[in-house]
Amino acid sequence: MRLPLWRLRRKKPQPPSRAGGVDKSDLQRIWDGWSTLNPSNVARYYARGSHVFFDIAPVKYDSWDDYQAGVIKVLSGFQSATCKVNDDVQIHKAGKDIWITATIAADMVEKSGKHDMSTFRWTAIFEKMQGKWLIVHEHVSEPLSQ
């Protein structure tokens, strides 16, 4: 029996859009929360306890409470923000965890009215806790100006 050629073609592998509970729309909701410039709007996505979070500054936060308190100071210099998860998002299931990478297009308006357009790098590790996928580690960075 001969198979038609179209049946022999291999499909190009697609990156997973949903890895057992986290998809791009979930990730965008997190950044929509950050776009409000109010960390309490994203607190439900972050695990409590001693987890390390790396943001643009300072070097690190050792818990969500530290992260929230520190980021409020940084965000207070802005009047608005829009953050979009770009199409390069990758979602990977690793045992019981999910890890993601993406770039984030950010348009942040300072209190002075100046637009700060940038692209953040974002890596996060999610762990399922009490039925919810929570971020237990996060790294947000921005390339140095060239």
* Mean pLDDT by groups of 10 residues along the chain of 146 residues: 42 45 96 97 94 78 91 94 98 95 98 95 96 95 78
In angstroms, the CA 98 to CA 88 distance is: 16
Strands 90-94 and 132-141: unpaired
pLDDT recorded at residue 143: 85
| Residues of the chain by 3-state class (helix, strand, coil), percent to 5 | 25, 40, 35
Closest CA to 107 of 78, 66, 133: 78
Element (H or E) spanning 35, and its range? helix 24-35
Torsion of CA 140, 105, 14, 131, to 10 degrees: 50
pLDDT recorded at residue 8: 38
Closest CA to 46 of 65, 32, 60: 65
pLDDT recorded at residue 37: 97
- Two tokens at 13? 């592998």
Closest CA to 65 of 76, 52, 77, 74: 52
Domains of the chain, start order: 20-141 (3.10.450.50)
Sequence-distant (≥ 6) Cβ neighbours of residue 138 within 8 angstroms: 46, 53, 54, 55, 122, 123, 124, 125
pLDDT recorded at residue 20: 64
pLDDT recorded at residue 6: 39
- Two tokens at 58? 């300072």
pLDDT recorded at residue 3: 41
